[in-house]
Each structure stands twice: as structure tokens, then as C-alpha cells.
Structure 1
Amino acid sequence: MRRVFPSLSAVALALWAALILGGCGEKSGGAGSVSPFEGEPMILDAVLALDVVDDRPNGITDTFRTDDERIYLWIYWVNVEGRHTVRVEWFTPSQGVDEPPYLKTVEHFNSRTGDRITWFYIDRPPGGFERGEWQVFVYLDDLFERSFIFYVE
């Protein structure tokens, strides 16, 4: 038994050293997963786009120009039977998210099927859209659902 114990200690020490030294490299990462509740309302797909044509996003992008006419956020919802309220808040590059939004838009809907497409947009202000990194936050029934980052060049 004496021979086995030192061998196990050496193996454990080697594994511990490998974990410590291996964790010191430049690469790191991780993962996670969760099972949504059955029937939980959620966003199946969402994109930023230059336009919405026939209820579909047209010109999907995350980079816009200062002189674009509008910037659209298109959202496909599932499991949203009944009445719901979607709130979208847009923030300019010069704003903090703790400040009042540049624009807040609210859409109320009633879905019989549980699926719904909504879209929101901001119009080009006089002088054009502010250059830089914009943010958009989406809430369903006052609960945070998703945020987006896009750029204006």
C-alpha cells in the first residue's frame, strides 16, 4: 500500500500542476446552456436592417450610414399567445444606458397563434445619424429580452 499512495500523490500533483499551468495560457473560454420553460415567450430571430418589405427584413446589416433614411429592428417572436407589450429603447453613441433613451417605442399586440413578427425603426434625424456604436434594448411585458449593438459610419 505504501507504493500506491506515493504514486497517487504524484499523479494528483501532476494533474493539479497541469491545470494551473494550462490555465495560464492566452486562450480561455467557456460555455453554458439552459432549457427554457415550456411555452416561454422568446425571440426566435431578430435582425437590424435597412428596410422591411412584405413583413420581412431587407438589407440585413449591423453597420449603417449617417445618411440612411431609417434603421429597422425586426423581431420574430414565438410562444406569445395572448396580449403582450414590446418596448424598444434606442441609445446613441454619446448616451449612457443609464440615461433616458434617444427613442422609446411601444407596440401592443394580441396573438392567437403564439407567433408574431414586430418591427421598430428610427428615422434619420436632421443632420443624419450620430456616428459610432448604438445600442437597442428589447423588453417583453417589461422584462428584458435582448440587446443589440450596431454601428453608424
Structure 2
Amino acid sequence: MNYQHWKTILAAFAVLWSIIFFSGCEAKSGGGAVVTPGRDEPAIVDSVMAINVHEDRPDGITNFFFTDSSQIYLWLYWMNVEGRNEVEVRWFSPEEEVDEPPYWKETQSFTSNTGQQITWFYIDKPSGGFTAGEWFVEIYLNGNFERMHIFTVE
């Protein structure tokens, strides 16, 4: 082999090595976790925002509503909730500050013999319509925070 042949091989190797090196130096971030929940721990299996609830099922699942929507619904499907339980929801409009009371708060109690339960809540349109912006609703079961939904009113 002559010198020119080695020079070509070395140049190809340098280009290949540069591609591998520089594509591998990209800054990446992320993470995750695996958690085993308690077998009998109450859990929300599904929850959605909707424009209506018909025959105890969500109708028109969405996270976007309008200032003139007549109502905004929150629908929840629970597992492992045998016995007596209390669900509280707290609705917050864009007008409430962090430490202010919620726009609306409601509590429902239920007793489940099967460990499964469907609950749903709604807020009615105020006289001037819903305030445009980002809203959120917090969900509590027996005083423990379970989940939050963020939705937009346009």
C-alpha cells in the first residue's frame, strides 16, 4: 500500500469519527420513574373535562371552552374506593390569585360497594360569561389531593 491510500483511509476515518463524536455530544435531558402503587389505594382511573355528561358518560371531551359555554364539566372514574368517601373539587378562574379562595368549591359524598365509582361536577356560566384565560380544577378525595386539570376558556 502506498502513502496516498493510507492518507485516504485516515481522512475517511477522521470524518466518520467526527460525525459520531459531534452527534453524540448533543445536550439531552429527561428522566422517569417506575412506582408500584398500593394495591388497595384509591385511584382515578380516568378523568376528563367535557361540554356535557350524558347518561353518566362524558360527552364532547375537550380542554377548550368558550366564554359563552353554558356549563363546563369534570368527569371522574374511580377505583379502589370501597366504603364511604368524599370528593371535593375546587375550580379556579384566571381572576383568582394563588392565596385566594376558589371561584367555586363543591363536595360530594358517595358509598361504593364495588370499589368503583363515577362522579361528575360542573360549573354554570356566570351572568357575564366565563372569564377568558387559563382555568384549573383541583380534585381531592377524603382531603387528599389527587389530580388537577388545566383548561382554557376562549
Residue in structure 1 matched with residue 40 of structure 2 by the alignment:
39
Which AA in structure 2 matches 1:107?
A: Q
- Report the CA distance between 1:28 and its aligned residue: 1.9
Which residue is equivalent to 1:82? Answer: 83
Higher mean C-alpha deviation, range 29-38 or range 70-79: 29-38
Distance (Å, rounded) in 1 between the aligned partners of 2:53 and 2:139 = 18
Kindly provide the amino acid, as one letter, of the partner of residue 40 in structure 1: E
1:7-40 deviation digits (Å, cap 9, x = unpaired): xxxxxxxxxxx9xx94x72x42111121111110
2:51 alignment counterpart: 50
Q: Give the whole-Å Cα distance in 1 for the aligned partners of 2:132 and 2:34.
A: 36
Q: TM-score, normalised by structure 1?
A: 0.83
For residues 102-141 of structure 1, the aligned pairs below 5 Å read: 102-141=103-142
Question: Matched residues, percent identical?
Answer: 55
Between stretches 33-42 and 72-81, larger displacement belongs to 33-42
Aligned Cα RMSD in Å?
Answer: 1.4
CA contact (8 A) 1:91 1:97 kept: no
Question: Which amino acid counterpart does residue 60 of structure 1 have in structure 2?
Answer: I
Partner of 2:14: none
Gaps of 5+ in 1: 1-17
The TM-score normalised by the length of structure 2 is 0.82
Q: Which digits, 9 at most, give the CA deviation of each residue in 1:94-146, with x for residues without a partner? A: 21242100000000000000000000000000110000000100000000000
Alpha-carbon deviations, 1:66-93, whole Å to 9, x = none? Answer: 0000000000000000000000000001
Q: Which has the larger radius of gyration?
A: 2
